Protein backbone atom coordinates (compact mmCIF):
# COMPACT_ATOMS: atom_id res chain seq x y z
CA UNK A 1 0.00 0.00 0.00
CA UNK A 2 1.32 3.39 -0.92
CA UNK A 3 2.36 5.72 1.86
CA UNK A 4 -0.37 8.34 2.22
CA UNK A 5 1.83 11.42 2.18
CA UNK A 6 3.34 10.26 -1.13
CA UNK A 7 0.01 9.76 -2.90
CA UNK A 8 0.51 11.06 -6.47
CA UNK A 9 -3.01 12.35 -7.04
CA UNK A 10 -3.46 14.41 -3.90
CA UNK A 11 -2.36 18.02 -3.51
CA UNK A 12 -2.96 20.64 -0.87
CA UNK A 13 -4.04 24.07 -2.10
CA UNK A 14 -3.20 27.21 -0.16
CA UNK A 15 -4.23 30.67 -1.25
CA UNK A 16 -1.97 33.71 -1.27
CA UNK A 17 -3.84 35.00 1.76
CA UNK A 18 -2.21 32.17 3.72
CA UNK A 19 1.07 33.86 2.83
CA UNK A 20 3.36 33.60 5.87
CA UNK A 21 5.60 30.62 5.23
CA UNK A 22 5.39 29.57 8.86
CA UNK A 23 1.59 29.24 8.53
CA UNK A 24 1.89 27.21 5.32
CA UNK A 25 4.56 25.01 6.88
CA UNK A 26 2.44 24.36 9.95
CA UNK A 27 -0.58 23.52 7.78
CA UNK A 28 1.41 21.12 5.64
CA UNK A 29 2.90 19.50 8.72
CA UNK A 30 -0.60 18.92 10.13
CA UNK A 31 -1.81 17.33 6.90
CA UNK A 32 1.30 15.17 6.59
CA UNK A 33 0.88 13.98 10.16
CA UNK A 34 -2.79 13.17 9.53
CA UNK A 35 -1.82 11.21 6.40
CA UNK A 36 0.70 9.11 8.28
CA UNK A 37 -1.71 8.55 11.17
CA UNK A 38 -4.59 7.50 8.90
CA UNK A 39 -2.36 5.22 6.79
CA UNK A 40 -1.25 3.42 9.94
CA UNK A 41 -4.76 3.17 11.40
CA UNK A 42 -6.31 1.91 8.15
CA UNK A 43 -3.43 -0.45 7.38
CA UNK A 44 -4.74 -3.81 6.19
CA UNK A 45 -8.25 -2.49 5.57
CA UNK A 46 -9.97 -2.48 2.18
CA UNK A 47 -13.10 -0.92 0.76
CA UNK A 48 -16.03 -3.30 0.68
CA UNK A 49 -17.19 -1.92 -2.67
CA UNK A 50 -14.06 -2.77 -4.69
CA UNK A 51 -11.47 -4.28 -2.30
CA UNK A 52 -9.10 -1.35 -2.84
CA UNK A 53 -6.86 -0.24 0.07
CA UNK A 54 -9.09 1.76 2.39
CA UNK A 55 -6.65 4.64 2.75
CA UNK A 56 -7.42 5.53 -0.89
CA UNK A 57 -10.85 6.77 0.18
CA UNK A 58 -9.87 9.44 2.76
CA UNK A 59 -7.07 10.56 0.46
CA UNK A 60 -9.59 10.95 -2.37
CA UNK A 61 -11.91 12.96 -0.09
CA UNK A 62 -8.96 15.24 0.71
CA UNK A 63 -8.17 15.58 -2.99
CA UNK A 64 -11.77 16.57 -3.77
CA UNK A 65 -11.64 19.32 -1.15
CA UNK A 66 -8.26 20.65 -2.27
CA UNK A 67 -9.37 20.65 -5.91
CA UNK A 68 -12.53 22.55 -4.91
CA UNK A 69 -10.49 25.41 -3.46
CA UNK A 70 -10.77 24.49 0.21
CA UNK A 71 -7.64 25.78 1.97
CA UNK A 72 -8.47 25.28 5.65
CA UNK A 73 -5.86 22.85 7.07
CA UNK A 74 -8.32 21.79 9.79
CA UNK A 75 -10.69 20.58 7.07
CA UNK A 76 -7.86 18.89 5.18
CA UNK A 77 -6.68 17.00 8.24
CA UNK A 78 -10.23 16.06 9.27
CA UNK A 79 -10.94 14.74 5.76
CA UNK A 80 -7.98 12.39 5.95
CA UNK A 81 -8.99 11.26 9.44
CA UNK A 82 -12.76 11.23 8.93
CA UNK A 83 -13.23 7.45 9.13
CA UNK A 84 -10.74 6.68 11.88
CA UNK A 85 -13.33 6.82 14.66
CA UNK A 86 -15.78 4.56 12.82
CA UNK A 87 -13.44 2.02 11.30
CA UNK A 88 -10.38 1.79 13.56
CA UNK A 89 -9.59 1.70 17.26
CA UNK A 90 -8.98 5.46 17.32
CA UNK A 91 -10.73 7.49 20.02
CA UNK A 92 -11.83 11.10 20.03
CA UNK A 93 -9.43 11.72 22.91
CA UNK A 94 -6.55 10.37 20.85
CA UNK A 95 -7.44 12.62 17.93
CA UNK A 96 -7.63 15.66 20.18
CA UNK A 97 -4.28 14.81 21.75
CA UNK A 98 -2.59 14.29 18.38
CA UNK A 99 -4.30 16.95 16.23
CA UNK A 100 -6.06 19.38 18.53
CA UNK A 101 -9.67 19.97 19.54
CA UNK A 102 -10.76 21.57 16.24
CA UNK A 103 -9.73 18.64 14.07
CA UNK A 104 -11.15 16.13 16.55
CA UNK A 105 -14.50 17.93 16.65
CA UNK A 106 -14.89 17.86 12.87
CA UNK A 107 -14.10 14.13 12.77
CA UNK A 108 -16.66 13.50 15.53
CA UNK A 109 -19.27 15.41 13.51
CA UNK A 110 -18.51 13.26 10.48
CA UNK A 111 -18.72 9.95 12.36
CA UNK A 112 -21.77 7.73 12.75
CA UNK A 113 -22.93 6.61 16.17
CA UNK A 114 -22.16 2.90 15.93
CA UNK A 115 -24.58 2.07 18.74
CA UNK A 116 -27.40 2.86 16.29
CA UNK A 117 -28.79 0.49 13.67
CA UNK A 118 -27.84 0.99 10.04
CA UNK A 119 -31.22 2.65 9.47
CA UNK A 120 -30.68 4.87 12.51
CA UNK A 121 -27.28 5.98 11.27
CA UNK A 122 -28.59 6.88 7.83
CA UNK A 123 -31.54 8.81 9.28
CA UNK A 124 -29.21 10.66 11.65
CA UNK A 125 -26.97 11.73 8.76
CA UNK A 126 -30.00 13.27 7.06
CA UNK A 127 -31.21 14.92 10.27
CA UNK A 128 -27.84 16.47 11.16
CA UNK A 129 -26.74 17.53 7.67
CA UNK A 130 -27.99 21.09 7.98
CA UNK A 131 -26.92 21.67 11.58
CA UNK A 132 -23.32 20.47 11.62
CA UNK A 133 -20.46 22.95 11.32
CA UNK A 134 -19.39 24.26 7.91
CA UNK A 135 -16.12 22.38 8.25
CA UNK A 136 -18.00 19.12 8.82
CA UNK A 137 -20.34 19.88 5.91
CA UNK A 138 -17.36 20.27 3.60
CA UNK A 139 -15.93 16.91 4.61
CA UNK A 140 -19.32 15.22 4.42
CA UNK A 141 -20.02 16.61 0.94
CA UNK A 142 -16.66 15.40 -0.36
CA UNK A 143 -17.19 12.03 1.30
CA UNK A 144 -20.62 11.65 -0.31
CA UNK A 145 -19.25 12.66 -3.70
CA UNK A 146 -16.55 10.01 -3.60
CA UNK A 147 -18.88 7.28 -2.31
CA UNK A 148 -21.59 8.08 -4.85
CA UNK A 149 -19.33 8.63 -7.84
CA UNK A 150 -16.52 6.15 -7.35
CA UNK A 151 -18.05 3.66 -4.92
CA UNK A 152 -21.49 3.31 -6.48
CA UNK A 153 -21.79 4.89 -9.94
CA UNK A 154 -18.49 3.56 -11.31
CA UNK A 155 -17.96 0.54 -9.06
CA UNK A 156 -20.42 -1.25 -6.82
CA UNK A 157 -20.89 -4.72 -5.36
CA UNK A 158 -22.41 -7.24 -7.74
CA UNK A 159 -24.74 -8.29 -4.90
CA UNK A 160 -26.52 -4.92 -4.89
CA UNK A 161 -29.94 -5.00 -6.49
CA UNK A 162 -31.13 -2.22 -8.79
CA UNK A 163 -33.52 -1.18 -6.00
CA UNK A 164 -30.70 -0.82 -3.50
CA UNK A 165 -28.52 1.21 -5.85
CA UNK A 166 -31.35 3.61 -6.63
CA UNK A 167 -32.16 3.86 -2.92
CA UNK A 168 -28.56 4.72 -2.07
CA UNK A 169 -28.58 7.58 -4.55
CA UNK A 170 -31.89 8.83 -3.10
CA UNK A 171 -30.44 8.73 0.41
CA UNK A 172 -27.26 10.52 -0.70
CA UNK A 173 -29.38 13.22 -2.31
CA UNK A 174 -31.45 13.60 0.88
CA UNK A 175 -28.23 14.27 2.81
CA UNK A 176 -26.46 16.63 0.42
CA UNK A 177 -29.49 18.76 -0.45
CA UNK A 178 -29.55 19.82 3.22
CA UNK A 179 -25.99 21.13 2.87
CA UNK A 180 -26.65 23.34 -0.15
CA UNK A 181 -24.55 26.50 -0.33
CA UNK A 182 -21.48 24.98 1.33
CA UNK A 183 -19.17 24.63 -1.68
CA UNK A 184 -20.33 25.36 -5.22
CA UNK A 185 -17.68 23.24 -6.95
CA UNK A 186 -18.37 20.06 -4.97
CA UNK A 187 -22.12 20.58 -5.21
CA UNK A 188 -21.87 20.94 -8.99
CA UNK A 189 -19.98 17.65 -9.15
CA UNK A 190 -22.67 16.02 -7.03
CA UNK A 191 -25.38 17.29 -9.39
CA UNK A 192 -23.41 15.88 -12.33
CA UNK A 193 -23.17 12.54 -10.49
CA UNK A 194 -26.91 12.44 -9.79
CA UNK A 195 -27.61 13.20 -13.46
CA UNK A 196 -25.04 10.75 -14.81
CA UNK A 197 -26.30 7.74 -16.81
CA UNK A 198 -26.59 4.61 -14.71
CA UNK A 199 -27.10 1.15 -16.16
CA UNK A 200 -28.36 -1.26 -13.51
CA UNK A 201 -28.32 -4.30 -15.81
CA UNK A 202 -32.05 -4.71 -15.29
CA UNK A 203 -32.96 -4.60 -18.96
CA UNK A 204 -34.15 -0.99 -18.82
CA UNK A 205 -30.95 0.57 -20.12
CA UNK A 206 -29.21 3.65 -18.76
CA UNK A 207 -31.15 6.29 -16.86
CA UNK A 208 -30.16 9.18 -14.55
CA UNK A 209 -28.68 7.88 -11.31
CA UNK A 210 -31.20 9.86 -9.25
CA UNK A 211 -34.92 9.37 -9.75
CA UNK A 212 -36.43 12.60 -11.04
CA UNK A 213 -39.86 12.24 -9.45
CA UNK A 214 -39.92 13.26 -5.78
CA UNK A 215 -42.63 10.74 -4.83
CA UNK A 216 -40.66 7.93 -6.50
CA UNK A 217 -37.57 9.01 -4.55
CA UNK A 218 -39.53 8.83 -1.29
CA UNK A 219 -40.66 5.28 -2.04
CA UNK A 220 -37.15 4.21 -3.09
CA UNK A 221 -35.74 5.75 0.08
CA UNK A 222 -38.12 3.83 2.34
CA UNK A 223 -37.27 0.58 0.56
CA UNK A 224 -33.61 1.37 1.01
CA UNK A 225 -34.01 1.98 4.72
CA UNK A 226 -35.98 -1.25 5.07
CA UNK A 227 -33.11 -3.37 3.74
CA UNK A 228 -30.36 -1.82 5.87
CA UNK A 229 -30.50 -3.42 9.29
CA UNK A 230 -29.63 -6.88 7.99
CA UNK A 231 -26.70 -5.65 5.92
CA UNK A 232 -23.14 -4.42 6.31
CA UNK A 233 -22.32 -0.88 5.08
CA UNK A 234 -20.63 -1.52 1.75
CA UNK A 235 -18.44 1.58 1.77
CA UNK A 236 -17.07 0.83 5.23
CA UNK A 237 -13.66 -0.65 5.82
CA UNK A 238 -13.01 -4.29 6.52
CA UNK A 239 -9.83 -6.09 7.45
CA UNK A 240 -8.16 -8.40 4.94
Which residues are the active-site residues? 86-87
177 DSSP 8-state letter: G
Residue 237, strand partner residues: 47
- Rounded to 10°, the helix 56-67/134-148 angle is 120
Q: CA 11 to CA 65: how far, in whole Å?
A: 10
Q: How far apart are CA 144 and CA 46, in angstroms?
A: 18
Could you tell me if 49 and 152 are in contact, meaning their C-beta atoms sit under 8 angstroms apart? Answer: yes
Three-state DSSP state, 67: helix
Scanning 8-133, the segments in alpha helix (DSSP H) are: 21-41, 56-67, 73-81, 84-87, 92-99, 101-109, 118-128
How far apart are the C-alpha atoms of 105 and 181, rounded to whole Å? Answer: 22
Q: What is the DSSP letter of 53?
A: B
Amino acid sequence: MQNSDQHPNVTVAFSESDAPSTLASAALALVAKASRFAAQKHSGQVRRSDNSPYINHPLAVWDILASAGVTDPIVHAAAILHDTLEDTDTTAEELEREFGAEVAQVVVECSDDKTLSQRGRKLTQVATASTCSRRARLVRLADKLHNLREGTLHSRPSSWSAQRVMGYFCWGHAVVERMAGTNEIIERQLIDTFEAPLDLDDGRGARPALLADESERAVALERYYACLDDSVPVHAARNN
